[in-house]
Amino acid sequence: EQAHSFLNMQSQFISYARDSSLYNPVLGQLLDSISSRPDTLAYKVATGDRLKYELLLTEYFFRYALKAYQGDNKLDAQDLGWFIPRKKVNPTALLDSMIGSKGANAYEPVSRQYNLLKAELLKYYSFEKQGKWDSISIDKPAYKLGEKAAAIRQVKARLALTGDLAIPDTTTVFDSTLFSAVKHFQRRYGLKEDGAIGKGLLKELNRPIQQRIRQLLINMERLRWVTADLPQDYLLVNIPAYTLYVYEGGQLNWTMNVVVGAVAHNTVIFQGDMKYVVFAPYWNVPPSIIKNEIMPGIKRNPNYLAQKNMEWNGGNVRQKPGPGNSLGLVKFLFPNSYNIYLHDTPSKSLFGETNRAFSHGCIRLSQPKKMAEYLLRNDSAWTPEKIGAAMNSGKEKYVTLKKTVPVFIGYFTAWVSSDGDLNFRDDIYGHDKKMADKMFTR
């Protein structure tokens, strides 16, 4: 029974991952024969082939387990910009679990998110097979509520297929139901939620179905690198989503918009432990910014430093605490070799932008006071009032957290959100493209 279960699982993986490297014709024939005659394996065992088939099954289970649960070892994660330590699995322990397991999936070391994406992948294979992913074009910049056009019927058909439009409709009228469906689609793709059928919407609708399938496969591969046993409390920044997620007790508690590194100053994908909250921080200007921005500014204007509330500090430049400080009124440190941290910002308007890749690599928070309150929630000395006072004191103060909080800076361009919606985002740093070149052009 376990052998049949494993052979089925391997066959399914080869099918949905589109990875034939695990296929073995002998095992394939064995699966076919077992499917048609359940006593085949028992027969082979009884006729003296037991050792041969047990060794073969064990070998291929190990190969399967490493590929399906740990990821492709031919992909160098760091070469692909991923510096979170990759998950390690123990094939022997997994084999023992499978042998003692009654359910085929009871022992699989994959996350819930992985299985959710797998379910969506199977849907997209169905869409591909149906052949209903035709390109859509419009004869004006945008269609809005109340207008009529033949292309509106095509948009309705596509949104019905993807589940954004609950009730199929073949009319050419842009009605309120379609307006809501368009906004739902825009939300899932990180677009401006204006409810209009315009350039941005069409760009996403017209991406080839094969590209979406590859996007799902790439993100599922990344999820194989991540442990399924995440801590109960942690912070996750998903760079392409421009969002920070706060998890408590293993459940998503709240989220906030963030600004991440610009394309020329990528935010690094890594993990750390939050240890300090710094109120009214100085900003120690990085040498690259001193060279490329500060020194040219001083040459143009001798009062540049004073106007920016900056000062020399030895051979370096720092910006004094205050509301105009580039780090805002508070920063959050999880020490790392990349000098990346979370912080407030005086540039609040950027959080209203759809695409928020503007920083030099650090992560700007839209709700910094709420983050401080969350991190210090178990410290009775820090009430919301005292936190607010410290932020506006003008005097830098370091606070060491009583308990560190894990921080993960990730990069996922496809995921299923807590409300069950499949989300897609642009590959802002080109990491997907680099992975695609490795995964699909061998």
Catalytic residue set = 343, 362
Q: Which helix (H) or strand (E) holds 80?
A: none
| Phi and psi, residue 379, nearest 5° | -110, 105
Alpha helices in 37-171, H assignment, sequence order? 40-44, 50-65, 91-100, 112-130, 150-161
Alpha helices in 270-427, H assignment, sequence order? 287-289, 295-300, 304-307, 368-375, 384-391
| Phi and psi, residue 73, nearest 5° | -70, -5
Q: What single DSSP character describes residue 189?
A: T
| Phi and psi, residue 426, nearest 5° | -65, 150
Distance in angstroms (rounded) separating the CA atoms of residues 265 and 49: 60
Helix (H, G, I), strand (E, B) or coil at 244: strand
Whether the CB-CB separation of 143 and 174 falls below 8 Å is answered with: yes
The encoded tokens of residue 154 equal 């095509």
Distance in angstroms (rounded) separating the CA atoms of residues 275 and 403: 8
Q: What single DSSP character describes residue 82?
A: B
| Phi and psi, residue 414, nearest 5° | -145, 130
Q: Which helix (H) or strand (E) holds 278?
A: strand 270-279
Whether the CB-CB separation of 20 and 442 falls below 8 Å is answered with: no
Distance in angstroms (rounded) separating the CA atoms of residues 108 and 324: 51
Distance in angstroms (rounded) separating the CA atoms of residues 107 and 362: 38
Residues 6+ apart with CB under 8 A from 409: 84, 237, 239, 267, 268, 269, 270, 271, 340, 363
The encoded tokens of residue 33 equal 């024969």
Whether the CB-CB separation of 100 and 116 falls below 8 Å is answered with: no
Residues 6+ apart with CB under 8 A from 131: none
Whether the CB-CB separation of 66 and 88 falls below 8 Å is answered with: no
Q: Which is nearest to 378 in space by CA: 406, 401, 399, 407?
A: 401
